[in-house]
Amino acid sequence: MKKQYLILVNTFLLIVVFLITIVSYGQKSSDIKAIEITNNMKNQLTLTDQQYDQVLEVNKKYLKKLDDSRNENEPGSGVREEFTKIRSEWDSELEKVLTNVQFEKYKENKMKQRPKRVPNNR
């Protein structure tokens, strides 16, 4: 009886761990996202080591702000406006770190990555 109880408890715990893993799969921390974004920027913009460190900190800061805003606000409750404000501040801070040429290239790359909007057919 005791052995069956232990098997049941262990099975339950494995299921819980498995479900937690599935739910969290695909959700990267803002720090990991910041590293990925900064690595891409380093390659695209030829960042110096000093710029890389500064851009990484800026990216971490603003990705955290976006995550916090997403978690604190209900969908449709001014989230889009808040995101636009955060992204504008983010760009302003990056502009202080990047050279003019790098920042122009950053803006060009950003426009290329923006998804094409499909007009509403009503």
* Higher pLDDT pick, 87 / 30: 87
- Is 121 inside any structural domain? no
Q: What's the confidence (pLDDT) of residue 120?
A: 57
How many domains, the chain?
1
12 and 20 Cβ atoms separated by less than 8 Å? no
State pLDDT tens for residues 48-67: 999 999 999 999 999 999 88
- Is 38 inside any structural domain? yes
Structural domain harbouring 98: 24-113
**Which runs of consecutive H residues, i.e. helices, occur in the chain?**
2-24, 30-45, 49-72, 79-97, 100-113
Nearest in space to 101 (alpha carbons), one of 52, 23, 18, 45 = 45
Mean pLDDT in the chain?
Answer: 83
Supply 30's token pair. Answer: 């803002």
- Is 120 inside any structural domain? no
